[in-house]
Amino acid sequence: MYKIIKKVSLNPTVTLMDIYAPLIAKKAEPGQFIILRVNDEGERMPLTIADYDRVRGTVTVIFQIVGATTELLNHKNEGEYITDFVGPLGKATHTKGLKRVAVVGGGVGSAIAYPVAKKLHSEGAVVHSVIGFRSKELVILEDEFGAVSDKLVIMTDDGSYGEKGLVTNALKALIESGEEYDEVIVIGPLIMMKFVCLLTKEYGIKTTVSMNPIMIDGTGMCGGCRLTVGGEVKFACVDGPDFDGHLVDFDEAMERSAMYRPTERNDYDKACKLIPKEGKRDA
Amino acid sequence: MPNMSLKKNEMPVQEPSERNKNFSEVALGYTEEQAIDEAKRCLQCKHKPCVAGCPVYIEIPAFIKEVAEGNFDKAYEIIARSSSLPAVCGRVCPQEVQCEQVCVRGIKGEPVAIGRLERFVADWYIENNKKAVEKPVPNGHRVAVIGSGPAGLTCAGDLAKMGYAVTVFEALHLAGGVLVYGIPEFRLPKAIVKKEIDALIALGVELKTNMVVGKIQSVDELFEEGYEAVFIGSGAGLPRFMRIKGENLRGVYSANEFLTRVNLMKAYKEDSLTPVLRAGRVAVVGGGNVAMDAARCAKRLGAEEVYIVYRRSETELPARAEEVEHAKEEGIIFKLLTNPIEILPDENRFVGGIKCVEMGLGEPDESGRRRPIEKAGSEFVLDVECVIMAIGTSPNPLIKSTTENLATEKWGGIIADEQGRTSREGVFAGGDAVTGAATVILAMGAGKAAANAIDEYITSKSQ
């Protein structure tokens, strides 16, 4: 059992949790992920490590409430426990030797992009961050990104905060203004990563993406998370989750991520039945 | 007087038309009367060939004698000296090529039903034993076991009985390896596996789940923590795919993924949060036990038609004869001498069919089996919505890649001698991690041999 040390609501649909897992905290690196199960009946769900504190022994995860398991998880409070928490899984994001990097985050993906920006900053790289959200009330981690970025651009789809438009608009503007990058690192929805890659390909800038396919075990034993990268089949859980974005078959990845969409609503209803009713929850 | 009947006592089973709709155990086990009657078929031979036929050398005539006399607890004690998982082995061992193959009664008629008797004794003990476990006297030495499948559990159990403080590190959230994620409930109830593992814990074995060795800790760090020897029983869990067009379409599973969803995550239950495709028509590619398990699970999830697609003929099917028989009884359709060449999409880009070719058999190849040869112009399409690839697995490279100087074969297997000694001092390995995908009982035999070698190693080192 793994204790929830801290729980903060970052916006109406995004929650941060610090989980006590000292052995994982000791080894975790930006770009790696964990798999958790909320309770004994739960499914296994991957979440990228958003931060870690090796001294306190905690691992931070940030998740968007999108379905059954995230809803169940969001009903857990500080001091309560989740059943399983496995990691650190996957390979760490490659940051060594990078001097000038654009870090692009979309929505809750910004939470995963943040530790990468932080690490690059601590290694002395020039970091330009572009983070995008649908609207003002969904903006997260603005101060955190500000602290580790030499330049920070916030985009909202509706223009209610920062600049109006998509992250691709901001990245294009930066590149057109003469900024040069060794690499672009982009983390967010598949469709966003796809369009950032199409953009950077035009300029010939190496681009790393963090893929988030459906997973079960996260240790390489099933291939449920397989992707086509440069014409070869890769398992995101062990070969990734980071890949060269210009080689990833995004259309296939988007198809595969929608595999269970027809049953997800049903699972959500099942999960709601498992959530303790208000007032009945243990004090 | 021995019972000279030429036939084994039949074991009651669920009716095929009934059982192919549920996940309850197919074979129901002997009653006390049936077990005693069957035990009396054993001639108590002096040379007891059956013992040598068992990879963990259970004293078979001795335990059967106790069954014949109704002393089931004594029978259990005899089995437990050699085997840590008798309720499992009695169910899943291929006895027809092991202990029962060399049974003297099998020369004229059927051999003694050793597996069924072992299963009966183990089940009886789980049901009836009330005695507290006597913990062995600790010898002050610590051993780490990586992987809680049959090899790791056997090694841990044997070492614990010798007085070692053993910690088992398991990557998944439940212990048991293939016993919990691979072999389905209807062949091996998970409650039985749990009871066998609980018995090991009662013996003093410490179990740490959610520990992916190679990620959270390395083998070297385990030594730094004070473990004096490490046993690697991490299995062969890396699935193979065919690398044919369409293999990444939605609806194509590795057997590992399909079985993990169904068995470990209980996706067959209505209230499970883990989804699995419930297709009407399913093709399972392969002919081993894993293929039979996947096909029979797909049927139980409600598929009307389930095909086994295998490139050789019935004679070469690697699955146990009994499993093939059960699959046929349950309505699984065998497409033999058939090989897939492409998986076709439907209009929504889910699986819409599987394009196959017919095969003929040529001369035997290096494996001794006749080589399948494609028949020109024989292409046809099987109309299915789900394809499960059960064409084999290989060892996961994680431990190899994070342990320095651990010699491995080109295909990934850890190199170890008969006693499980690897290229690194103090590191032992056994089971599928060494041999590639094999059987539960061979993994147990390897775990047992390694436990003895570890004992020898630590004893000689501390003198």
pLDDT in tens, B329-340: 999 999 999 999
For the range B320-324, what are the long-range contacts, defined as Cβ-Cβ under 8 Å and sequence gap of 24 or more?
B320/B94, B320/B96, B320/B289, B320/B292, B321/B96, B322/B96, B323/B289, B323/B292, B323/B293, B324/B292
CA distances from B82 to B136, B157, B229, B447, B461 (A): 16, 10, 22, 12, 26
Contact between B403 and B424 (Cβ < 8 Å) = yes
Q: What pLDDT is stored for residue A272 in this prediction?
A: 67
Contact between A154 and A83 (Cβ < 8 Å) = no
User: What are the pLDDT digits (tens) for B121-175?
Assistant: 999 999 998 777 788 999 999 999 999 999 999 999 999 999 999 999 999 999 9
| Gap from B412 CA to chain A (nearest CA, Å) | 14
pLDDT at A151 over 60: yes
Mean pLDDT in residue range B83-89: 89
The DSSP letter of residue B350 is B
Of A23, A43, A83, the CB nearest to B274: A43
DSSP labels, B155-167: HHHHHHHTT-EEE
- Is there a contact between B273 and A69 if contact means CB atoms under 8 Å apart? yes
Those residues of chain A whose CB sits closer than 8 Å to some CB in chain B are 23-24, 27, 37, 41-44, 68-69, 83-89, 216-217, 219-224, 226-228, 233, 238, 252, 255-256, 258-260, 263-264, 267, 270-271
pLDDT at B406 over 80: yes
Contact between B179 and B150 (Cβ < 8 Å) = yes
Mean pLDDT in residue range B19-23: 94
Of A24, A220, A233, the CB nearest to B238: A220
Those residues of chain B whose CB sits closer than 8 Å to some CB in chain A are 171-173, 209-212, 215-217, 237-239, 241, 243, 247-251, 253-254, 256-257, 260-261, 265, 271-275, 277, 349, 396-398
Q: Which of B451, B27, B426 is nearest to B219 (CA)?
A: B426
DSSP labels, B375-434: PTT--EEE--SEEEE-S-EE--THHHHHSTT--B-TTSPBP--TT-B-SSTTEEE-THHH
* Substitution target from B170, B208, B210 for chain A, most A beta carbons within 10 A: B210
Q: Which of B48, B39, B125, B117 is nearest to B80 (CA)?
A: B125
Residue B398, both tokens? 């994680």
pLDDT at B452 over 60: yes
Mean pLDDT in residue range B216-238: 95
Mean pLDDT in residue range A202-226: 95
- Which one-letter amino acid corresponds to residue A250? F
- The sign one gets for the Cα dihedral A162, A165, A167, A171 is negative
Mean pLDDT in residue range A44-67: 94
Of A216, A221, A267, the CB nearest to B238: A221
* A217 vs B contacts (CB less than 8 Å): 171-172, 260
| Gap from B185 CA to chain A (nearest CA, Å) | 17
Q: What pLDDT is stored for residue A172 in this prediction?
A: 96
Contact between B283 and B309 (Cβ < 8 Å) = yes
Mean pLDDT in residue range A53-82: 95
**Which element (helix H / strand E) includes A254?**
helix A250-257
Residue with tokens 């590795």: B254
Mean pLDDT in residue range A261-283: 60
For the range B190-198, what are the long-range contacts, defined as Cβ-Cβ under 8 Å and sequence gap of 24 or more?
B190/B263, B192/B87, B192/B88, B192/B91, B192/B123, B192/B126, B193/B88, B195/B87, B195/B126, B196/B84, B196/B85, B196/B86, B196/B87, B196/B88, B196/B153, B197/B148, B197/B153
CA distance B222 to B349: 47
- A266 phi, psi to nearest 5 deg: -60, -45
* A254 vs B contacts (CB less than 8 Å): none
End-to-end CA distance of chain A: 19
Contact between B66 and B72 (Cβ < 8 Å) = yes
Q: Which residues pair with A64 in a beta bridge?
A: A14
CA distance B406 to B227: 17
* A227 vs B contacts (CB less than 8 Å): 248
SS3 B342: strand
A33-37 and A45-53: which strand pairing? antiparallel
Chain mean pLDDT for chain B: 94
Contact between B416 and B449 (Cβ < 8 Å) = no
* B247 vs A contacts (CB less than 8 Å): 233
CA distance B282 to B305: 6
- Is there a contact between B212 and A86 if contact means CB atoms under 8 Å apart? yes
* Substitution target from B209, B215, B270 for chain A, most A beta carbons within 10 A: B215
User: What are the pLDDT digits (tens) for B354-382?
Assistant: 999 999 988 888 877 788 899 999 999 99
Q: What pLDDT is stored for residue A265 in this prediction?
A: 66
User: What are the pLDDT digits (tens) for A156-173?
Assistant: 999 999 999 999 999 999
| A266 contacts: CB under 8 Å, gap ≥ 6 | none
- Is there a contact between A259 and B250 if contact means CB atoms under 8 Å apart? yes
* A219 vs B contacts (CB less than 8 Å): 171-172, 212, 237, 396, 398
Q: Which of B200, B222, B160, B151 is nearest to B448 (CA)?
A: B151
SS3 A213: coil
- Is there a contact between A223 and B256 if contact means CB atoms under 8 Å apart? yes
More confident residue, A207 or B271: A207
The DSSP letter of residue B441 is H
Q: Cα angle vertex A32, ends B238, B274, to 5°?
A: 60
Span of A57-61, B91-95, B183-187, B284-288 with lowest mean pLDDT? B91-95
Q: What pLDDT is stored for residue A278 in this prediction?
A: 46
Share of residues in chain B with pLDDT > 70 (%): 100
Mean pLDDT in residue range A201-216: 96
Of B211, B215, B239, the CB nearest to A223: B239
Q: What pLDDT is stored for residue A275 in this prediction?
A: 64
When pLDDT is cut at 50, 70 and 90, the band that residue A211 belongs to is: very high
When pLDDT is cut at 50, 70 and 90, the band that residue A271 belongs to is: low
Count Cα neighbours of B274 within 13 Å in the Cβ-side half-sphere. 27
* A237 vs B contacts (CB less than 8 Å): none
End-to-end CA distance of chain B: 52
pLDDT at B196 over 90: no
CA distance A216 to A222: 8
* B261 vs A contacts (CB less than 8 Å): 216
Name the pTM for this structure: 0.93
Which chain A residue has the Cα nearest residue B244? A233
pLDDT at A280 over 70: no
Count Cα neighbours of B421 within 13 Å in the Cβ-side half-sphere. 11
Residue with tokens 């449920």: A224
Span of A141-150, B110-119, B267-276, B419-428 with lowest mean pLDDT? B267-276
- Which one-letter amino acid corresponds to residue B452? N
When pLDDT is cut at 50, 70 and 90, the band that residue A267 belongs to is: low
CA distance B84 to B166: 14
